[in-house]
Amino acid sequence: MKDSIFQNFVCDLWISTTVAGGKLSFEKTTPRGTLIKALEMLAPHLPNGFVPKALPASTLQKLKNLCNRAKTAADKLDRVWSDELS
């Protein structure tokens, strides 16, 4: 994967939305979903060229999977800590 700053931004957006109680969707085959809409809405407020004109569907899918795995691991860790503190 290239363009690590954009990838970090997408992961931060995904995780921040989830932590705030929201949900982002993404469908690789079309590509569409609320993640795409959010990136399109944010693009004018970011440096020129930061959000690629042709969004890399495969990369976005990999990032979605990575963020979901990270959330699952964090949730599991929270449960362990809660059990330890009880």
Structural domain boundaries in the chain = 4-85
pLDDT of residue 1: 47
**CA count, 13 A, side-chain hemisphere, 52:** 13
Q: Tens digits of per-residue pLDDT, 50-68? A: 999 888 999 999 999 998 8
Q: Are 13 and 19 in contact (CB under 8 A)?
A: no
Residue 61 one-letter amino acid: Q
Q: Tens digits of per-residue pLDDT, 29-50? A: 988 999 999 999 999 999 999 9
Residue 69 or residue 83, greater confidence: 69
Q: Which two tokens stand for residue 78?
A: 């929270």
In 3D space, the residue among 49, 59, 56, 50 whose CA is nearest the CA of residue 1 turns out to be 59
pLDDT of residue 2: 63
Residue 5 or residue 80, greater confidence: 5
